[in-house]
Amino acid sequence: MIQSFKSLCSELSNLIEVWENRLTELPPALIAEKQNRQQRSIRQIVGHMVDSATNNTHRIIHMQYQDSPVNYPDYANLGNNDRWIAIQNYQDEDWALLVSLWAASNRHIVHVIGQVDHSHLGKIWISATSEEVNLEEMILDYPRHFKLHLGEIDDLINQ
Protein backbone atom coordinates (compact mmCIF):
# COMPACT_ATOMS: atom_id res chain seq x y z
CA MET A 1 0.00 0.00 0.00
CA ILE A 2 1.29 3.46 -0.88
CA GLN A 3 2.17 5.36 2.31
CA SER A 4 -0.19 8.27 1.54
CA PHE A 5 -3.00 5.76 1.03
CA LYS A 6 -2.21 4.08 4.33
CA SER A 7 -2.75 7.32 6.26
CA LEU A 8 -5.80 8.12 4.12
CA CYS A 9 -7.31 4.73 4.93
CA SER A 10 -6.59 5.17 8.62
CA GLU A 11 -8.16 8.63 8.64
CA LEU A 12 -11.29 7.43 6.86
CA SER A 13 -11.61 4.39 9.13
CA ASN A 14 -11.43 6.61 12.21
CA LEU A 15 -14.05 8.99 10.85
CA ILE A 16 -16.39 6.12 9.99
CA GLU A 17 -16.05 4.71 13.51
CA VAL A 18 -16.81 8.04 15.19
CA TRP A 19 -19.59 9.08 12.85
CA GLU A 20 -21.39 5.75 12.70
CA ASN A 21 -22.20 6.07 16.40
CA ARG A 22 -22.98 9.76 16.11
CA LEU A 23 -25.35 9.26 13.19
CA THR A 24 -27.13 6.36 14.87
CA GLU A 25 -27.95 8.50 17.90
CA LEU A 26 -29.46 11.47 16.01
CA PRO A 27 -33.13 12.21 16.71
CA PRO A 28 -35.60 11.41 13.90
CA ALA A 29 -36.79 14.99 13.47
CA LEU A 30 -33.25 16.27 13.03
CA ILE A 31 -32.28 13.76 10.36
CA ALA A 32 -35.43 14.37 8.33
CA GLU A 33 -36.28 18.05 8.64
CA LYS A 34 -33.24 20.33 8.64
CA GLN A 35 -31.75 20.98 5.22
CA ASN A 36 -28.40 22.20 3.93
CA ARG A 37 -27.83 24.78 1.18
CA GLN A 38 -28.63 22.12 -1.45
CA GLN A 39 -31.96 21.43 0.24
CA ARG A 40 -30.78 18.02 1.44
CA SER A 41 -31.70 16.56 4.78
CA ILE A 42 -29.19 14.59 6.85
CA ARG A 43 -30.85 11.41 5.53
CA GLN A 44 -30.28 12.57 1.97
CA ILE A 45 -26.68 13.63 2.64
CA VAL A 46 -25.93 10.22 4.13
CA GLY A 47 -27.59 8.57 1.14
CA HIS A 48 -25.50 10.69 -1.22
CA MET A 49 -22.40 9.55 0.68
CA VAL A 50 -23.43 5.93 0.07
CA ASP A 51 -23.76 6.71 -3.64
CA SER A 52 -20.38 8.41 -3.62
CA ALA A 53 -18.69 5.46 -1.92
CA THR A 54 -20.20 2.89 -4.25
CA ASN A 55 -19.61 4.90 -7.44
CA ASN A 56 -16.03 5.69 -6.48
CA THR A 57 -15.41 2.06 -5.58
CA HIS A 58 -16.57 0.98 -9.03
CA ARG A 59 -14.57 3.73 -10.73
CA ILE A 60 -11.40 2.72 -8.83
CA ILE A 61 -11.91 -0.88 -9.93
CA HIS A 62 -12.64 0.00 -13.57
CA MET A 63 -9.56 2.23 -13.70
CA GLN A 64 -7.35 -0.72 -12.84
CA TYR A 65 -8.32 -2.93 -15.76
CA GLN A 66 -9.74 -0.72 -18.53
CA ASP A 67 -7.67 1.22 -21.03
CA SER A 68 -7.07 4.87 -20.22
CA PRO A 69 -9.00 7.09 -20.53
CA VAL A 70 -11.59 5.05 -18.72
CA ASN A 71 -15.19 5.29 -19.86
CA TYR A 72 -17.28 5.13 -16.68
CA PRO A 73 -20.47 7.14 -16.05
CA ASP A 74 -20.21 10.33 -14.05
CA TYR A 75 -23.05 10.19 -11.57
CA ALA A 76 -22.06 13.31 -9.62
CA ASN A 77 -22.16 16.02 -12.29
CA LEU A 78 -24.97 17.43 -14.39
CA GLY A 79 -27.48 17.00 -11.55
CA ASN A 80 -27.34 13.23 -11.59
CA ASN A 81 -26.48 12.92 -7.90
CA ASP A 82 -29.78 14.61 -7.04
CA ARG A 83 -31.57 12.18 -9.33
CA TRP A 84 -29.93 9.28 -7.50
CA ILE A 85 -31.08 10.70 -4.15
CA ALA A 86 -34.64 11.15 -5.41
CA ILE A 87 -34.94 7.80 -7.21
CA GLN A 88 -33.71 5.90 -4.15
CA ASN A 89 -35.87 8.04 -1.83
CA TYR A 90 -33.33 8.22 0.97
CA GLN A 91 -35.73 10.51 2.82
CA ASP A 92 -37.90 7.49 3.63
CA GLU A 93 -35.13 4.89 4.05
CA ASP A 94 -34.97 3.10 7.38
CA TRP A 95 -32.39 5.17 9.31
CA ALA A 96 -30.60 2.26 11.00
CA LEU A 97 -30.29 0.48 7.66
CA LEU A 98 -29.05 3.64 5.91
CA VAL A 99 -26.39 4.29 8.56
CA SER A 100 -25.31 0.67 8.37
CA LEU A 101 -25.10 0.89 4.57
CA TRP A 102 -23.14 4.16 4.83
CA ALA A 103 -20.64 2.59 7.23
CA ALA A 104 -20.28 -0.62 5.23
CA SER A 105 -19.89 1.06 1.83
CA ASN A 106 -17.27 3.43 3.20
CA ARG A 107 -15.41 0.66 5.01
CA HIS A 108 -15.40 -1.21 1.72
CA ILE A 109 -13.94 1.70 -0.27
CA VAL A 110 -11.21 1.95 2.39
CA HIS A 111 -10.46 -1.73 1.77
CA VAL A 112 -10.46 -1.23 -2.02
CA ILE A 113 -8.14 1.79 -1.76
CA GLY A 114 -5.77 -0.35 0.29
CA GLN A 115 -5.65 -2.92 -2.52
CA VAL A 116 -4.98 -0.53 -5.42
CA ASP A 117 -2.20 -1.57 -7.79
CA HIS A 118 0.05 1.50 -7.87
CA SER A 119 1.02 0.81 -11.49
CA HIS A 120 -2.45 2.08 -12.51
CA LEU A 121 -2.40 5.37 -10.58
CA GLY A 122 -1.77 7.43 -13.71
CA LYS A 123 -4.81 6.10 -15.59
CA ILE A 124 -7.27 8.82 -16.54
CA TRP A 125 -11.03 9.07 -16.16
CA ILE A 126 -12.85 11.90 -17.94
CA SER A 127 -15.77 13.44 -16.07
CA ALA A 128 -19.02 14.65 -17.62
CA THR A 129 -17.56 18.17 -17.45
CA SER A 130 -14.48 16.99 -19.45
CA GLU A 131 -12.15 17.16 -16.45
CA GLU A 132 -9.35 14.61 -16.59
CA VAL A 133 -8.71 12.94 -13.25
CA ASN A 134 -6.12 10.25 -12.68
CA LEU A 135 -6.69 7.39 -10.27
CA GLU A 136 -4.27 8.73 -7.67
CA GLU A 137 -5.96 12.16 -7.64
CA MET A 138 -9.37 10.51 -7.37
CA ILE A 139 -8.31 8.48 -4.37
CA LEU A 140 -6.54 11.39 -2.65
CA ASP A 141 -9.64 13.57 -3.12
CA TYR A 142 -12.09 11.11 -1.56
CA PRO A 143 -11.43 12.16 2.07
CA ARG A 144 -12.00 15.83 1.15
CA HIS A 145 -15.42 14.99 -0.27
CA PHE A 146 -16.22 12.70 2.66
CA LYS A 147 -15.30 15.38 5.23
CA LEU A 148 -17.19 18.06 3.28
CA HIS A 149 -20.42 16.13 3.77
CA LEU A 150 -19.65 15.29 7.40
CA GLY A 151 -19.17 19.03 7.89
CA GLU A 152 -22.58 19.71 6.35
CA ILE A 153 -24.14 17.17 8.72
CA ASP A 154 -22.28 18.70 11.66
CA ASP A 155 -23.56 22.17 10.70
CA LEU A 156 -27.14 20.88 10.60
CA ILE A 157 -26.71 19.17 13.98
CA ASN A 158 -25.41 22.38 15.53
CA GLN A 159 -27.97 24.80 14.05
Specify the number of domains making up the chain. 1
CB-based burial, 15-37: b 16+ in 10 Å, e otherwise: bbeebbeebeebeeeebbeeebe
Find the CATH number of the domain harbouring 29.
1.20.120.450
Task: Please give the pLDDT value at position 149.
Answer: 97
Beta strands in 22-130 (DSSP E): 124-126
Output the tens digit of pLDDT for each of the chain's 159 residues: 567 799 999 999 999 999 999 999 999 999 998 888 889 999 999 999 999 999 999 999 999 999 999 988 888 887 788 999 999 999 999 999 999 999 999 999 999 999 999 999 999 999 989 999 999 999 999 999 999 999 999 999 998
Helix (H) / strand (E) element for 134: namely: strand 132-134
* Torsions phi, psi for 76 (to 5 deg): -85, -25
Residue-range definition of the domain harbouring residue 113: 3-157
pLDDT per residue as tens digits for the range 103-149 = 999 999 999 999 999 999 999 999 989 999 999 999 999 999 999 99
Distance CA 26, CA 73 (A): 34
Distance CA 132, CA 124 (A): 6
Task: Please give the pLDDT value at position 157.
Answer: 95
Distance CA 109, CA 16 (A): 11
Distance CA 59, CA 83 (A): 19
